[in-house]
Amino acid sequence: MSDTSTTDAVAQDTGAETGDAVDEPDDDTGPAIAIYAQWAVFAILTLVALIATLQFYFSASSAIDTFVTDRYRPLFNAAFNLAVVLACGLGLSVLVRRLA
């Protein structure tokens, strides 16, 4: 019987030590590093998207110059630029709502 009583006492002491360890603040570098990594990936993807968007814009303008006659070229350029501005406005409004 003395074995069970000492085992219970050891188990209670171990539980008390475990409970105390949970209450102590840990070094939270893991989540901070993960957040910085996510922001770094976000910045890289934003840069790549910006480069791809600029290349698409200039390629589309070149295609308009190639396939549209001189008479309708300003109209197509205006419509394309308006579509780009509206897409940018939509993207910015979604981003602002998520950040707010």
Residues 80 and 61: beta-carbon distance below 8 Å: yes
Token pair of 61, please? 């303008």
pLDDT for residue 95: 84
Q: What is the pLDDT of residues 29-39, one digit of tens each?
A: 778 888 888 98
- Which residues are within 8 A (CB) of 60 and not within 5 positions of it... i.e. 6 or more apart? 80
What pLDDT is attached to residue 15? Answer: 53
Render pLDDT for 41-98 as a digit per residue (tens, 0 to 9): 988 998 999 999 999 999 999 999 999 999 999 999 999 999 989 998 998 898 888 8
Which residue type does 100 have? A
Full-model pTM: 0.57
DSSP H helices, the chain, are: 2-23, 29-67, 73-99
In angstroms, the CA 84 to CA 67 distance is: 19
Q: Where are the domains of the chain?
A: 31-99
